[in-house]
Structure 1
Amino acid sequence: MATKAPSWCTRFRSPASAVWFLPAAVFILLLLLLRRPTMDPYAPAAPRSPVSSRRADLYGRMARDLDERGAAFLKGGETSQSLTLSDLFDIRDGAVVPRLKAADPPVRANVLYLDPVFAAEIAKAVKEVFLPYFDKAIWFQNSSMYHFSMFHASHHLEPILATKDEIEAEVDAVKRVTEAACPLKISLDRVVLTATGVLLGLWQVESGTDPADIRSKLREALPRAPQKQLYDPVLLHTSFARILGPPKLPQQVARHNTTFSVAIFCI
């Protein structure tokens, strides 16, 4: 029996849904969010592709968001979904609980899910770093739901209604895009806190089909999708947590500090 020649890349076939999964080949330079490997200051910098440079510039702007806009989440400011924090969360028995609402019309999104093994390690580090300071004023994303939003066939700003047959056709179109894509090997570039209180992991791409290329292919595959997407095409981010209130410092630290500044943790 003839055998098919191996492909130039390892392809990951998605299940019959519009949700994608990152394979276990995902590479994470986590180091507990706070440690950076020793680097030779005289070593030449690795050349960056135009997309990687654009992504790095975007991450720099996102890292400055809190300083430039201030902590809007302390004032009940709007979130990235044009909702207030009170629209999204309740405080019950001293714990932050999300207010679950059915989207009407439903959002149709293509996302990459992070491998649960790596997600659990990140979630553990995030809780160890932030829980002592924020206690009841922080909501941690379920690590089983760590994902990267890629492309929306319909979103809250521009709902695109679809019949069951049209949705099935969208799923088939997305599957064809995934079959031509290579798995992503990524590294955690930095973790930032935004002005709206979202703790984000920002990632760089080491190899595989770049998110910008994936989104371009999805644009071709889903012509009815909203022209204005929710994210910059080069962005690759994960929401780790959302902070809803000011920190609670340990007493021994509070005696020596009268103000608190939120740190931007980088790898």
Structure 2
Amino acid sequence: MATVREIYRYLDGLAPFSLQMDFDNAGFLVGRGDRQVDKVLVSLDITQEVAAEAAGLGCQLIVSHHPVLFFPAKSITDADPTGRTLLALAEGGIAAICAHTNLDAVSGGVNDALAQKLGLTQIEQLKQDGVDASGRPYGIGRVGNTAGVPMYAPAFAAFVKEALGANGVRFVDARRPVRRVAVGGGACADMLKDALAMGCDTFVTADVKYNGFLDAKALGVNLIDAGHYPTEQVVVPVLAKWLADGFPKVEVLTTQAHKEVFSYL
């Protein structure tokens, strides 16, 4: 077994929490640090359903990407979804560690997993934000090249949908063959010009606003919005593997209760 604190320190070595962006609230957010853990559940989010799943499985810890507590709480009651989730965790003795923008930025994290899932090669950083205490570069987004005969945006968008298991995608077709692709898991549409500066003809991200599509069309970049969940769910197996490798005596499970929240008609 291991303690919650030991697991937190291990994850901090792989994706330092000090690298999180200013607005973020990643870290050890719920529970007791000395709690012994023999089962951990990994999920993109911690919802009421995930908390109930963890309790049913006998897990003492949930490790997620999105923070279960993002804004300062003035109260924790059963009057709202966040309060009910936090109460379920506390009453069930279940701790929560959430690795968010730090996991987006580090090597091997969200964006490397996304680039690899899309079969990109010669992967490099889209934008380097700095180096960590060990001298390792970090930054949001990745860039890579496609293999084989280049596709155009409609065919590549269909491939992205299939590869990520997305319920649907939205895209702008710039009528350019897809050869060099930037990826930004989650809401990274504001990095469109960074993708262009890196010589990309295509950008895959999520949560694109209307103006983002207009900008892509004007700039001549294929833009594919594949959804927040599909572009970041790719990191759940990565987290599970990290934990299994670091703590072989701890049983690591991945959620079956949490899926994409919306559908397309």
Same fold, judged at TM 0.5 (above): no
More helix by share: 2
Q: Which has the higher contact order (CA 8 A, sep 6+)?
A: 1
